[in-house]
Each structure stands twice: as structure tokens, then as C-alpha cells.
Amino acid sequence: MRSDRLLFLTLLATFAAAPALRAQAPAEPPMPKPGPEHELFKQDAGTWDATVESWMAPGAPPMTSKAVETNVLGCGGLCLVTEFKGDFGGMPFDGHGTSAYDSTKKKYVGSWTDSMSMGLMIGESTYDPAKKVVTGYMEGPDMTGKVVKSKSVVEYKTDGSRVFTMYNRTPDGKEVAGMRITYVKRK
């Protein structure tokens, strides 16, 4: 009985001290908020009509098609979620991407997957506000499962449109345009 009373008094003292212990606990860090780097996401938000040009071989005429891209701000404005629907060579094409700003790396980071690839591509890019150009690299599996690295450049035009160009590497290491998408935002 004496040990039960001692246990009860110990528990009572612990609960009585709990508010004082909580007051000494470190404060939780503030929640992240969108900063100036996230303004680019606001600019990209909305529905865009896309004209896609794809080159199957360097110097060959491009295949062209139409598509629609819808971008939505997510995570309280901290990320951009992209849905892309169109066709490629007469076959339906569906893609999905996410973009965020990594304040530790001081870079934009993103992921992309689509109906013609075997997995997830991961990328990093930087924005040059003076030139209004985003330049980056993505790496991931292509439609055969082979891991490839590609360069991307997004140019923001003065008329509000934007142009995305993806460069593929040739076996000798040169970067050649493989795809160009011109986007016009719907009103």
C-alpha cells in the first residue's frame, strides 16, 4: 500500500510540473509562407493552350500537335501542380508535374511523369529575372526505361505567352532541341 501511495504522489507531482515543462519547451518554427520566388507560380497558374513541336531527328521537320495545360497553386501557394493533356503522334498524351522552390538549395525543384515514360523525372532549375528565363535539368526514365538527362528552358515573353524548349543529348554530348511548346493563356 505504501508503494501505491508513493507512485500516486510521484504521478501527481509529474502532472503538476507538466505546464512548467511545456513552457520551457522550444517554440515550434513558423509555418513556411510564399515569398518572392513563388510569384512565378502565380504567373503560371491558369489554363494555357499549347502548340507542341517535336523533332524525331535533328534537322527533320517537327511533328505538331495541340494540348491544354492547367496549373493550380497548391500547398498555400508554395507549389504549382500541373496537368497536361494532348496527343503525340495521334496517341493520347497525359502528363502531371509538381514544382516548388527549395529555399535551402535556392533552386526550383520539380517532378514530372506522363503516359509515355516509365517513371518519375526529377529536376532543378534557376530563374533569371532580368532575362525572364528559367533554365534547368531533369533526369529520369524515358519510354524504354533508360535514364536520360535533358535540359529545359522556359522563356516568358512580353505578350504574356511562354515558350518551353526541351533539349536532348546526342551520343556525342551535344544538346539539340527535341521539343518546343508555345503556351498562350486563356482569358
Name the CA radius of gyration of the chain, rounded: 25
Do the domain assignments include residue 166? Answer: yes
Taking the whole predicted model, whether its pTM rises above 0.75 is answered as yes
**Looking at residue 43, which CATH number applies to its domain?**
2.40.128.20
Query: How much of the chain exceeds pLDDT 90, in percent?
Result: 73
In this predicted structure, which of 15-19, 83-87, 169-173 has the lowest mean pLDDT?
15-19
Higher pLDDT, 25 or 161: 161
| Residue 134 belongs to domain spanning | 36-185
pLDDT digits (tens, 9 = 90+) for 46-66: 999 999 999 988 788 999 999
- Residue 18 within any structural domain of the chain: no
If one counts the domains in the chain, the total is 1
- Answer for the pair 182, 159: CB distance below 8 angstroms, yes or no: no
Q: How many other β-carbons are positioned within 10 Å of the β-carbon of residue 139?
A: 12
26 assigned to some structural domain: no
Of 101, 146, 124, 116, nearest to 52 (Cα)?
116
Does any domain span residue 12?
Answer: no
Q: Has residue 23 been placed in a domain? A: no
